[in-house]
Amino acid sequence: QVYQRFGTFDFEVEGEKATLTIYMNQHGFFLPFVDSLANEETYGAGRYLEPEPQPGGRFLIDFNLAYNPYCAYNERWSCPLTPWENRLKVPIRAGEKKYEDHP
C-alpha cells in the first residue's frame, strides 16, 4: 500500500513535547509510531493507530487503541516500517504491549 503524509499533531507526554505524522491512503488514516519503551515493553518495530477524523478537521488519537502489526506475531508477515520522524523519545504506556513469543 502507498501512504501519503497528511499532517502532524503535537502533544505532551510526562511534560515532554512530541510530534507524530499522520498518513493516509484510499482506506483511511494511519499512524505508525515507536516509543521509548520499544524492545522492552512494546514491539521494537512499532505499533499502529488508525486516527478517526472529527468535525472541524481534528482527529481523535487514542493511544489505548495502539496495536501491534501482524509481523509482531509471525516473522513471515511483512509490515510497513515506522518512519524515523515517528520515533518518539517518550514512553506511550497505553495500547498493546510486546508479544512475549516474538524473537
pLDDT per residue over 34-88, tens digit each? Answer: 999 999 999 899 999 999 999 998 898 999 999 999 888 888 888 888 999 999 9
Q: Which domain holds residue 70?
A: 4-86
The pairing of beta strand 28-33 with beta strand 58-60: unpaired
CB 2 within 8 A of CB 23: no
Q: How many domains does the chain have?
A: 1
Instruction: Say what the pTM is.
Output: 0.89
Q: 31: pLDDT confidence band, cut at 50, 70 and 90?
A: very high
19 falls within a domain: yes
**pLDDT given at position 11:** 92
Residue in this structure with the C-alpha cell 520499544, named with its chain if needed: 38
Please say if the pLDDT value at position 101 is more than 70. no
92 falls within a domain: no
